[in-house]
Amino acid sequence: MHSIQIIPEVLKRTIANRGGQWAFESIDPKTTCHIVIDLQYGFMEEGALLEVPMARKIVPNVNAISRSLRAAGGMVAYTRWTYRADEPSVWPNWYQLGMSEKFSKALRETFVPGSHDHALWPELDAFPDDVVVDKTRFSAFTPDTCDLKSLLDQRGIDTVIISGTLTNSCCESTARDACQLNYKTIFVADATATFTDSEHNGTLNSLSPTYADIMTTDKVLSVILSSRSR
């Protein structure tokens, strides 16, 4: 796992802002969704284009949260990073201007639907009733690029728990948007992963005072368990 460090000044500001370290220690599991971000072969497999070695280590924690929330009547949703040449909202500033032609081509070919690297990592504890959605932007809540929000709204979801990869890209982007869309947002410090501890902790310290409750897996499980007993 990443070596997690919340800067003391950030923790102090978080507590001052929230009136405590966490705002969402009481949730309704039935209106909660565990959003698992982009744990696909293209990020997980050794030698993959965007291999994140740490992401393989978080899978047991991701699965533990899914099992607990599912047993409590909650929702589990998996996102898949996706490239679609024919999508309505094209993204040329990123694919054509924001990276080299060589890397852009490799990225687009890696994450087309149906490819090996686009598929979910097989060690995930995914059930038939779980939701799988494709997204073509970093955030799962960018309009017209993912169906997640409509599916959450259909289920009356008001709380999201975020895990997956990359901490400082798709996970962070999703968490920021979730907060601003009025979801109670929990970000799991030891069930998210990126390339380095510095990048990981940068996100945790950025989200903590304003955007999300930063919790460990054990804390999330205790919140779910205590909420089930009410």
Distance CA 145, CA 64 (A): 29
Distance CA 17, CA 71 (A): 33
**Band of pLDDT at residue 229, cut at 50, 70 and 90:** low
What is the number of structural domains in the chain?
Answer: 1
Q: Which pLDDT belongs to residue 230?
A: 58
Distance CA 72, CA 224 (A): 8
Q: Is residue 3 part of a domain?
A: no
pLDDT digits (tens, 9 = 90+) for 13-70: 999 999 999 999 999 999 999 999 999 999 999 999 999 999 999 999 999 999 999 9
Domain CATH for 33: 3.40.50.850
Q: Comparing C-alpha atoms, which of 158, 202, 205, 219 is closest to residue 184?
A: 158
The parent domain of residue 17 ranges over 8-228
Q: Which pLDDT belongs to residue 43?
A: 98
Average the pLDDT over 169-180 and give the result: 98
Q: Is residue 2 part of a domain?
A: no
Q: What is the mean pLDDT of the chain?
A: 96
The one-letter amino acid at 117: D
Q: Which pLDDT belongs to residue 89?
A: 83
pLDDT digits (tens, 9 = 90+) for 84-119: 999 888 898 989 889 999 999 999 999 999 999 999
**Single pTM value for the model:** 0.97
Using the structure block, give the residue that is written with the tokens 């799962």: 140
Q: Is residue 139 part of a domain?
A: yes
Average the pLDDT over 174-191 and give the result: 98
Q: Is residue 72 part of a domain?
A: yes
Distance CA 24, CA 123 (A): 29
